[in-house]
Amino acid sequence: MNQRDVRSWWRVAHLTTVHHPFDPRIFHKQLASLRDAGFDAHLVAPHERTERVRGIPIHGLPRPQNRAHRLALQPRVFRTARALDAALYHIHDPELLPLAGLLKTRTGAQIVYDMHENYRSKGAVLGRTLRGLERWAFRWLDHVLIAEASYRSILNGYAVPHTYIANYFRPRGDERSEEAAPIRTSPTRLLYTGTLSARRGLHTMTDLAAMVKRQGRPETINLVGICRYEHQRARAEAQIRNEGLHTVMERVGWDTYVLPSAMPPHRRRADMGLALFEQHPNHAGSIPTKFYEYLHYGLPLICSDIPLWRCFVERHGCGAVVPPGDPAAVLDVLDEWQAHPERYRRCAENARAAASQYRWAEMGERLTKLYRDVLRGSAHRAPPTG
């Protein structure tokens, strides 16, 4: 086998037109693990330039403004992916599945599809269309990854092999070696990290800030993430401006994507993590990734009372649940923790103790083993010897 054959067998490419190029699951977890395992791992994604970042080549695409623009990009995605001549293509968006089918037909490459989004929130027509695309592709995909155990039900009746790759937390270098911060006896600093939206509790958190302000309480709320919905940002901005909430609420990102590398300082300063999501079918079967991030920093959770989330919090004794859309219930939890600091301390200690169960290392090993198994079973190229 010549040098090109060996290199090509290890070449894999992740394709997305929806996700940010530095999406934590795609870039900082999956591609980083594949790079570390010796794969020639590439990313084709919207990015301002083609460059190599941390040893991973990113093949930049124009940033689409809407779904129509994304669909118009598909011929370019196909040409870029085809030129890479990868042995395996890893697809992150259902709208790219027809393109992936064409890649499979033209190249014989293995196709892995990653289900890490639930499409119920997209509306009845679009949601069913995307789910229909997935079910059509299940007949010919080589493997499916699921980010939530609840997604297994979507695969019922299809023979496609699948593997559970949970979206656990991967500490960066400085996060792996740092010592745990001392637990404060008077917790007042509340943190939310991740995408902001009404369904993810944006307006509940601004109402919470308003109550804190009116009652002259000591708490502060730090929102770190992007809100992609301009009308929702405008509503929140109006409330913040009219009620003077800037004294109790800090916003980082807001209309700009916040890189994962910018998150650690905010987590280190916080006393607890928020996830005050609305009741919605999308949330019923999924554990938010932020739960694992909060646990790593010893942050007790205050989250909406969604059955799966309640089980998680009660199993680990790492926080409290409140009715969705009820900021007064959050203040009740804070009052209890401030009146009984030993209860807060116990939740923080339990969070730290539980964190080790949700680290990415195990999932990264599972992913790289899966890639090797899929490629060794492939008729596209034989694996290198020796």
Report the pLDDT value the prediction gives residue 384, as an integer from 0 to 100: 39
pLDDT tens digits for range 155-211: 988 989 999 999 999 997 656 555 566 787 789 999 999 999 999 999 999 999 999
Report the pLDDT value the prediction gives residue 383, as an integer from 0 to 100: 43
pLDDT tens digits for range 109-145: 999 999 987 765 555 677 788 888 889 999 999 999 9
Which ranges in the chain belong to alpha helices (H)?
Answer: 3-10, 32-36, 67-72, 74-84, 97-107, 124-137, 173-177, 202-214, 230-243, 264-269, 281-284, 289-296, 307-316, 327-339, 341-355, 360-376
Report the pLDDT value the prediction gives residue 291, as an integer from 0 to 100: 98
* Residue 188 token pair: 């007042």
List 60's β-bridge partners, or say none.
45
Query: Domains (ranges, CATH) in the chain?
Result: 3-168+360-376 (3.40.50.2000), 173-358 (3.40.50.2000)
* Residue 200 token pair: 């993810």
**274 phi and psi angles, rounded to 5 deg:** -105, 145
In the block, residue with structure tokens 């090109």: 4
Query: Which one-letter DSSP state was computed for residue 247?
Result: G
* Residue 351 token pair: 């969070």
Q: Provide the whole-model pTM.
A: 0.89
CA distance 114 to 162: 10
Report the pLDDT value the prediction gives residue 3, as an integer from 0 to 100: 41
Report the pLDDT value the prediction gives residue 125, as an integer from 0 to 100: 75
Report the pLDDT value the prediction gives residue 173, as an integer from 0 to 100: 66
Report the pLDDT value the prediction gives residue 112, as an integer from 0 to 100: 98
List 56's β-bridge partners, or say none.
53
Which ranges in 112-157 belong to alpha helices (H)?
Answer: 124-137
Q: Pairing mode, if any, of strands 51-53 and 56-61? A: antiparallel
* Residue 56 token pair: 């991973």
Which residues in the chain come in under a pLDDT of 50? 1-7, 380-386
* Residue 174 token pair: 């400085």
The 10 Å CB-count burial string (b at 16+, else e) for 295-320 is bbbbbbbbbbebeebeebbeebebbb
* Residue 340 token pair: 């009984």
The 3-state DSSP class for residue 67 equals: helix
Number of residues that this document lists for the chain? 386
